[in-house]
Structure 1
Amino acid sequence: RFRENRWVLEGVVEKFEPHFTQHPYNPYQRIVKEAKITLRTKNEKATYTVGPSVAQEMISKGVKEGLVIMIDKEGGHVSVLGVSKEATEAQYDIGRIPTVDIPEGPVEKQREFIYMTTLDELDEMFHKRAGGGSFFSLLFGGREERKEIDPETRMRVDKLVKDAVEEGKAEIIPGVLFIDEIHMLDIESFSFLNRALESELAPIVIMASNRGFAKIRGTDIVSPHGMPLDLLDRLLIIPTEPYKPEEIKEILKIRAREENIEIEDDALELLTRLGAEISLRYAIQLMAPAWERAKIHDRSKINVEDIESARGRFASIEESVKHLREWEEKFMK
């Protein structure tokens, strides 16, 4: 988040008079030479003369009497904030200009602007400035395949952000990176992640894994959760426990509410028992076929018969494994 204080001219337009002159190369065309504009606030009124570029931008944005505008005094950028409540501006259903109050205070004032951006966007901008774009994109503005940002560009961006933070012009809002199935990364990915976490601009990283002792991919080393020990040593580990029956019941209620499914209390108790004995995922997955059966029988709620019918048609993982072992010789290998 970058903060910048800039001098601006802000007020309602009382008079806008553009002055035109003959085009130096085309006698049949006139171009804007300058313009005079009078801005008014609740406390002050002032008249300014603007150059051709600012005057042309005002004309292109339809600046006229009654509009509340803001002009960047240094860069000359013009922003239309809306139409003042005192103006008799025609309102349309489509393309309506918002109605705003007349600004208070002086016309010329200092305002703070806040820009939200990400490190990735800054990397892209610096990469293009350094000539990272292709010749085709420079000529025709076409989109090219995104390439890896080089380390030098990242170092320049990091220095820019660090200097801005030290000067009080910016503040870092750390992002959150969630990596599920972290054990699927190989040793090279873990090395990169370990180094990236040492950066001052590193986001908050949340990793999830359901593995116990497993081999780190790319090695023969067996480690907890399939992760290197030096990376585990710098993490805060949150232990998890199996869901209790009352927690399973509450999760099923939330899922039913999100899916707009009505379920009777007895059926909910049966699903809770299945979730505790087999798995929560299996209990949640039974809700969809049970709900379809209830709708076929013109019922607005799932009952116990619907759950038992779905239970008889769809096997759990334990039942599927038992079935495979029983009929192993009949399956292809």
Structure 2
Amino acid sequence: MAEIKEIKKIGSERSSIHSHITGLGIDENGKAKYKADGLVGQVEAREAAWVVVQLIRQGKMAGKGILLVGPSGTGKTALAVGIAKELGEDTPFNTLNASEIYSVDLKKTEVLTQALRKSIGVRVRQKRMVYEGVVKEIKMKIARSKMNPYVQIPREVEIKLGTKDEERSLTAGEAIAEQISRQGVRKGDVIWIDAETGNVVKVGRAKGFEGVKTYDIESGKLVEIPAGPVKKEKELTNTFTLYDLDLTIAAQSFSITALFSAWTEREVNQDIRKQVDSYVKDLISKGVGELIPGVLFIDDAHMLDIETFSFLTKALEAELAPILVLATNRGTTKIRGTDVEAPHGMPLDLLDRLLIITTKPYTREENRDIIAIRAEELDIELDPQALEELTNLSVEDSLRYSIQLLEPSQVIARKAGRGVVKAEDVKEASRLFSDLRRSVKYVKENESLFLK
């Protein structure tokens, strides 16, 4: 059997304040709904973003980018997430704050290049022979570990897989047995096993199979029992970023001498990137792979310097380039690294390449709806008066401050033995955690006590 080196995705997605956003909330006529897909208001900005999505799908965004301009807390990041979601669930979305490029370990160009390549995906389709079916019987043979005789590990597994049309009994060795044990595969689970690599994938619980409860919370996702033969050819689809592939190739070229040198995975050699680009182009030409331009979102873009702007201008024209989305809350200010003042602190030659979308402050009603959506996402039950109190705070102080009080208010409510957050809990949280206005007032009143 040929040696198989599996490409694994690097890193994991972290949860964020925009995890509830599933799209731009646009109807079939290209008009934004007031509240949809986790977004509220910003109708004009969302409709403009939808037009951008259509341009991307038609391949008409080459050499262009997007600039989101608006005051703090007006949904610029949410809009960028919505664009990525509209392009597809597996579209890479990479967020970078402008200040992150000033690293002491890496050059600015390396940080930006890695960010760009994390934002470009490759969807690979492969036809593989697999064993697929519902687990009807499973027997695990346990033996002592060769490395540690006091530990027992799965050594072999006997498993009977069945479809609607066929049954097969299989015996597999230690590698597959270990995966089955680790994933907790049991009778009634639908799984498939790659006949070549031995990878095991647990799909879910078989709907209608004996012993599978539809109301059991621990049963997992319910799926239909597969039809046809147990051993079959199956098309598998995986999506990787160019950065994933860079690190995979870099790891393969890693030598034992690197253990005694200053070698680090943090910086990738340009020769490796050229090798990856050539490999990707070959996959695309064979019809096996498909390039997915993702979204690189750079917040606080006014913090970038003149060298970075020059790099990004050239990157927009590259053959393999993501959709560049910049965001800023600044008006006219100096371009970092120069004494020149420009709109949003950006060079005019870059601004000419950007489609500019403006966001406006939210109304009171929009603030209330956004707070309610976020509370639902965090599984926090709000009393109507508590929602009204948070809405008042969002108008008096800021929407972000109001949203930040949700979880502290829940902690205070639970301390009082309540599952529902009341207005008094919100007031107590607001008393404990100062907003910006009160913080500035406190500093001014006690200015003599602070160090100069």
Aligned-partner residue type, residue 379 of structure 2: N
CA distance in 1, matches of 2:233, 2:421: 63
Contact 2:401 2:435 in 1 (8 A): yes
Judged with a 3 Å threshold, the aligned counterparts in structure 2 of structure 1 residues 193 and 133 are, in CA distance, closer, same or farther, namely: farther
User: Following superposition of structure 1 onto structure 2, how do residues 166-181 of structure 1 map, counting pairs within 5 Å?
Assistant: 166-181=285-300
Distance 1:305 1:148 in 2: 52
Determine if contact 1:252/1:284 at 8 Å carries over to the other structure: yes
Distance of aligned partners of 1:193 and 1:298 in 2 relative to their CA distance in 1, 3 Å threshold:
same
Letter of the 1:247 partner, please give it.
Answer: E
SS in 1 for 2:437: helix
CA distance in 2, matches of 1:259, 1:326: 37
2:276 aligns with: 157
Q: CA deviation at 1:112?
A: 6.4
TM-score by length of 2: 0.46
3-state SS of 1:165 partner: helix
Which string of whole-angstrom CA distances, capped at 9 and with x for unpartnered residues, describes residues 90-120 of structure 1? Answer: xxxxxxxxx976649xx9x998675644322
Q: Mean Cα displacement is larger for which, 205-214 or 241-250?
A: 205-214
SS of residue in 2 equivalent to 1:237: strand
- The match for 2:422 is 303
Structure with higher Rg: it is 1
Structure 1 residues 249-301: Cα deviation after superposition (integer angstroms, max 9, x where no partner): 11211222233333221231122122112211222233344434434444443
Aligned residue in 1 for 2:257: 135
**Are 2:243 and 1:120 aligned?**
yes
Distance 2:420 2:328 in 1: 36
Q: Is the 1:134–1:144 Cα contact (8 Å) retained in structure 2?
A: no
Residues 113/326 of structure 1: CA separation in 2 closer, same or farther (3 Å cut): closer
The alpha carbon displacement at 1:239 in A equals 0.9
Question: Unaligned 5+ residue runs, structure 2?
Answer: 1-122, 132-171, 177-191, 202-224
The aligned amino acid for 2:242 is L
Q: How does 1:283-302 map to 2 (within 5 A)?
A: 283-302=402-421
1:187-202 alignment runs, 5 A limit: 187-202=306-321
Post-superposition offset of 1:240: 0.7
The structure whose RCO (Cα within 8 Å, separation 6+) is larger is 2
User: 1:267 and 1:285 mapped to 2: Cα distance?
Assistant: 14
Q: Give the corresponding residue for 2:436.
A: 317
Find the aligned partners of 2:251 and 2:385 in 1 and give their Cα distance. 63
> Aligned-pair distance for 1:195?
2.1
Aligned CA distance change for structure 1 residues 296 and 136 (closer, same or farther; 3 Å): closer
Same amino acid, percent of matched pairs: 44
Contact 1:3 1:169 in 2 (8 A): yes
Secondary structure of the 2:381 match is coil
Aligned partner of residue 342 in structure 2, secondary structure = strand
Q: Which residue of 2 aligns with 1:204?
A: 323
Question: Does the residue aligned with 2:311 lie in a helix, a strand or coil?
Answer: helix
Question: What residue identity is the alignment partner of 2:243?
Answer: D
Secondary structure, in 3 states, of the residue corresponding to 2:297? strand
Contact 1:70 1:78 in 2 (8 A): yes
- Cα pair distance change 1:179/1:134, threshold 3 Å: farther
- Counterpart amino acid of residue 291 in structure 2: I
CA distance in 2, matches of 1:69, 1:215: 59
Q: How many angstroms apart in 2 are the aligned matches of 1:79 and 1:312?
A: 54
Matching residue of 2:264 = 145
**Aligned partners of 2:247 and 2:411: how far apart in 1?**
49
- Secondary structure, counterpart of 2:358 in structure 1: coil
Equivalence map 1:46-65=2 (5 Å): none
- The one-letter code matched in structure 2 to 1:189 is T
Question: Displacement, 1:172?
Answer: 0.8
Matches of 1:119 and 1:172 in 2, distance apart?
A: 10
Deviations 1:295-318 (A, max 9, x none): 444444333333334434443212
Q: Give how far 1:321 is off.
A: 1.3
Corresponding position of 2:209: none
Q: Quick one: distance in 2 between partners of 1:184 and 1:323?
A: 29
